[in-house]
Amino acid sequence: MKLIRFRYEDEKPRLGVVERGQVYDLAGQLPYATLGDLLAAEGRLSERIDELKSAVSGATAAFELTDLLTAGRQDVGGKQARLLAPADEQEVWASGVTYKRSEEARMAESKGAAQFYALVYDADRPELFLKATAHRVVDPFGDVGIRRDAAWNVPEPELGVVLSANMEVLGYTVGNDMSSRDIEGENPLYLPQAKVYKDSCALGPAIALDIDDPHSLGIRLTIKRNGDQVFFGETNTDQMKRKIDELVEYLGRAYDFPKGAVLLTGTGIVPDDSFTLQESDVVEIEIDGIGTLTNIVKWVGRSAK
């Protein structure tokens, strides 16, 4: 079972459930209408999930799923339904250096500060940073940004954990932590500029509610240029050094999230150093049991003077 956010043309965003190839429109069927209210609701999250399940079991599907998850839009009885990122009021936080590949790539790119990446990979305390607020998150099939003042840009395919206000896991989504490797490599104190800029975070296509083991999910990254595949890489969340519980526990230690949060869990796929994204590249990130997040690359910002 998957939870999605979508909207019909200019109408308000809605929550939907995807089950057995059908989309159930939850508008008006639950005591809440937004993801933020679902994640904020009092009581245990399992009760909210039971409510979702019974809303679906007693309902008639609104429409059959054809293109919504795979193209980001679908005609529904003459109206266009458009898929939205699964975040409405949540901050998106991100973990760093949780895979050996990420540690190695960052040590190589940041000559003067390599030891800090080794230290954080081995430390008890993880690296956590604020990646985006909800209104800045790019929808599936939307444009993700590469900075015009950066020369070396990559996507970071990451498992995203959707958390309630009580820091319980609602489900899992796919995230893209777009990053400028030259800016981060120059000095780790430039990390916010390397990672937090316009359209640098995408989420979607859905929140999978029934993942049994998030530590055993294949992740695949494909980058296409003019229709040709220019990069493919894969990993598995079993390569993650840290457990999701541990990352969540640190995130919630000294911060609260009244409308929930999304936590990205770090990248285990980093293209070779010769690779950089170009405008119009198509980035596809697939995670087992969740789906594929597709975005198109566009320049953002201004060049250095």
208 contact choice in Mg ion, ligand DO4, none (CB below 5 to 8 Å, kind-dependent): none
Please classify residue 174 by burial: count the beta carbons closer than 10 Å to its beta carbon, then call 0-12 exposed, 13-18 middle and 19+ buried.
buried
User: Does 200 help bind Mg ion (rule: CB under 5 A)?
Assistant: no
Site string for ligand DO4, 202-241 (x = CB under 6 A): ----------------------------------------
Q: Work out whether 102 is an interface residue with ligand DO4 (CB under 6 A).
A: yes
281 touches Mg ion by CB under 5 A: no
Burial string for 29-55 (b: 16+ CB within 10 Å, else e) reads bbeebbbbbbbbbeeebeebbebbeeb
CB of 277 to Mg ion, least distance (A): 15
Q: Rule CB under 6 A: is residue 89 a binding residue for ligand DO4?
A: no
Residue 89 binds Mg ion (CB under 5 A): no
- Asked if 64 and 236 touch (Cβ cutoff 8 Å), the reply is no
Report in angstroms how near the CB of residue 38 gets to ligand DO4 at its nearest.
Answer: 27
Q: What's the CA gap between 292 and 25, in Å, rounded?
A: 21
Q: Which is nearer to ligand DO4, 113 or 296 (CB)?
A: 113
Residues binding ligand DO4: number (CB under 6 A): 12
* 156 near Mg ion (CB under 5 A): yes
Q: What is the distance between the alpha carbons of residues 130 and 214, in angstroms, rounded to a whole number? A: 22
How far is CA 29 from its chain centroid? 27
Regarding 267 and contact with Mg ion (CB under 5 A), the answer is yes
**Token couple for 284:** 């596809």
Q: How far apart are CA 150 and CA 204, in angstroms?
A: 26
266 binds ligand DO4 (CB under 6 A): yes
Minimum distance of ligand DO4 from residue 123's CB (angstroms): 12
Distance CA 20, CA 39 (A): 24
Quick check: helix, strand or coil at residue 51? helix
Which residues contact ligand DO4 (rule: CB under 6 A)?
A: 94, 96-98, 102, 106, 127, 156, 177, 191, 266-267
